[in-house]
Amino acid sequence: MSIRPVTAADHPALWEMLEPVFSAGDTYAIDPAIPRDAALAYWCSGNHRAFIAEGPLFLEKISSGGGAEGAGGQTAPLTLLGSYYICPNQQGGGAHVCNCGFVTAPQARGRGIARAMLNHALDTARAMGFRAMQFNFVVETNTRAIAIWQSHGFAVVGRLPGAFRHPTQGYIDALVMYRNL
Amino acid sequence: MSIRPVTAADHPALWEMLEPVFSAGDTYAIDPAIPRDAALAYWCSGNHRAFIAEGPLFLEKISSGGGAEGAGGQTAPLTLLGSYYICPNQQGGGAHVCNCGFVTAPQARGRGIARAMLNHALDTARAMGFRAMQFNFVVETNTRAIAIWQSHGFAVVGRLPGAFRHPTQGYIDALVMYRNL
């Protein structure tokens, strides 16, 4: 798996990955009906720098054939496994703290991709001169993400009561998470 | 004092009020060198709805002459005393929580203008259908604002350690404050 900056050529595959996450409406505070171009602009444009994680989709192809080559000698096609963006969380006196958003392809879950992207993001943040990373709105039911953030040094520094309307669970809390770099 | 929506005719006076607050860089996490048009766009455009509080600058003119009429029979000119904006704090599942920003003209401080604007904002928020109001980034040294928010039902629900670089005090905390409507 490699992690590299998003290019325009990635947009179709990136949208294919973002669309089900946004339309589910259970983790991101984004309009579930957000159109493709607006979603890609949100993820990649303005002061956001976006990256993708790509690799062969099936691990066995890596282990059996060496590298990205399958057992039958064919090269496994590279697939978009995940993406993240990084941006300043505030301007002016708050510009030393960054924010990130992460998404993992549904078919690639459980393979440590979110962790790999987070480590990449922490390195990128340090290289960009940020001193801390803040997640503004982690939905409390997103326990998988919360566990990953906590195991990587993030503390819950705030709880927003009822700030998220979950599509099936109603009004639930969102967490603010933070770590120094 | 009356509170009404901002119009383009207010922009010169509004900028005159915003500029010293932003350029001081000690309360808002905004580039202290933000240009006029960008500052006005930030305050009034996009999904922000902006209001101004206006009235005669000197209270004695109200009490001595009745209404806005001075003791000499002349009408005291209306002055911009403060401004606030209101916007959704998040989209999608977070769109029922609003955010506001407030600024009071330096020469009009201590007259309850921030409180009057806050009450107006709380009413506006309810009328717009919001269920809660959140301040994302209240610099901990802004004790005057914190006291006003707390006396109007806001709780500190988060503390961002060192998230604000104060121009004279270095890295200090910012608070997340929240109240239901």
State pLDDT tens for residues B52-101.
999 987 654 444 444 444 445 566 677 999 999 999 999 999 999 999 99
Q: List B18's β-bridge partners, or say none.
A: none
Structure tokens at B170: 């270095």
Which of the residue ranges A128-142, B61-75, B120-134, B166-180 would you say has the lowest mean pLDDT? B61-75
Q: How far apart are CA A96 and CA A132, in angstroms?
A: 7
Q: Using CB atoms, which residue from A91, A162, A176 is nearest to B31?
A: A91
Two structure tokens written together for B124: 């506006």
Share of chain B above pLDDT 70, in %: 90
Interface residue A181 vs chain B (CB under 8 A): no
* Strands in chain A per DSSP E: 2-5, 49-56, 78-88, 97-104, 132-139, 155-166, 170-180
pLDDT, tens digit (0-9, with 9 covering 90-100), for A72-120: 556 667 899 999 999 999 999 999 999 999 999 988 888 899 999 999 9
Contacts (Cβ under 8 Å, ≥6 apart) of A131: A96, A97, A180, A181, B162, B171
* Cβ-contact A152, A122 below 8 angstroms: yes
Q: Are B93 and A164 in contact (CB < 8 Å)? A: yes
Directed axis angle between helix B36-44 and helix B11-24, to 10°?
Answer: 100
CB contact under 8 A, A160 and B30: no
pLDDT at A75 (0 to 100): 64
Res A109: pLDDT: 86
Contact B146, A77 (CB under 8 A): no
Q: Which of residues 106-165 of B touch A (CB under 8 A)?
A: 131-132, 134, 136-137, 139, 157-165
CB A139 within 8 A of CB A119: no
Does residue A62 register a pLDDT over 60?
no
